[in-house]
Amino acid sequence: MDELAGVAIVPLIVGLVEVAKGVGLSSRWAPAVAVGLGLGLSLGYRAALGLPAGAEWAQAALGGLALGLAATGLYSGTRAVAHASR
């Protein structure tokens, strides 16, 4: 995934996880959902491009993991700052 698109996806993943939590997802599962969304979005983007299988798919999977983990870190970091300011 393009780097700029990847950076834009992280807040999208955070927002989707928040929507899922709003409809009943336990906070315990939020990191797993974020990683799953990162993988799904990255692999879906790769599939939409119609690129052949191989190293590109492995790279997309690693990129998706990175996006999901970054979204998890952004969420937990924001939550820690919000709790510290109280």
Q: Which burial class, exposed, middle or buried, applies to 10 when counting CB atoms under 10 A from its CB (0-12, 13-18, 19+)?
A: buried
pLDDT of residue 2: 58
> What residues make up the domain containing 19?
3-84
Which parts of the chain register pLDDT below 50? none
pLDDT of residue 74: 73
Count of domains for the chain: 1
pTM for the model stands at 0.77
pLDDT of residue 45: 87
| Strand, helix or coil for residue 86 | coil
Averaged confidence pLDDT in the chain: 83
The pLDDT tens digits for 10-26 are: 889 999 999 999 999 99
